[in-house]
Amino acid sequence: MSDTRRVTEVGRCIEEASFALIDAEADAETGPHAFSPAEWQVVRRVIHATADFDFIQALTFHPLALEAGAAALRRGAPIICDVQMVAAGLSPDRLATFGSRVSCFVAEDEVIRAAREANCTRAAEAMRRAHRLGLLDGAVIAIGNAPTALTAVQRLVCEERAAPALVVGVPVGFVGAALSKEAALALPVPHVVARGRKGGSPAAVAIVNALLALAAEGGA
């Protein structure tokens, strides 16, 4: 069953009204923005998921981010998440359309054991496990909760030549979150980053679901 068929008429009307309000209020609060039409589709979905217009200033797009992300999803690229909350929020119908597999290793016994031995976080070790399994190259990486996961990805890209198609770096928090995202802006691979403390799993989910919709529409 497609995403469209799952949504009731009432639900569709509410969603359309919400997006109309977001468009109107964004224009009233911040004036014309510099986002491309495809980028605005992503930004407005994040605002819809969080009710937070600060993401208009916080979200930063690498010039090739949406093109690379949508292309990767169309070819069924794996999606690597830092936490199960992100994995659980992704559209199963869209994923099935393209054949993308979602992986999150944070709860695996091997990851927990290795994290304890290395005195690091499970989220960071989970990204290293994904790399050892050969899953990062060409993947879409979605990080909404753990700054340490984003830092681990940055090191894997810069030091071990991991080559994800897109890094979505929007971890929320107070310890290391803003710093990890500022560092991620220098990634040599396409990325979407929410600067500052704000972010979270809902934001990461909204970004990837927006990319799935763009991929389905042939956009970006």
Where in the chain does DSSP place strands (E)? 59-61, 79-81, 102-103, 140-143, 166-169, 191-194
Q: Specify whether the CB–CB gap between 143 and 80 falls below 8 A.
A: no
For this structure, is 33 an active site residue?
A: no
Label the pairing between strands 166-169 and 191-194: parallel
Q: Which of 48, 62, 131, 191 is catalytic?
A: 48
Query: What is the enclosing helix (H) or strand (E) of 65?
Result: helix 65-74
Longest dimension (CA), the chain: 52
CA–CA separation, 90 and 14 (whole Å): 20
Residues with a catalytic annotation lie at 48
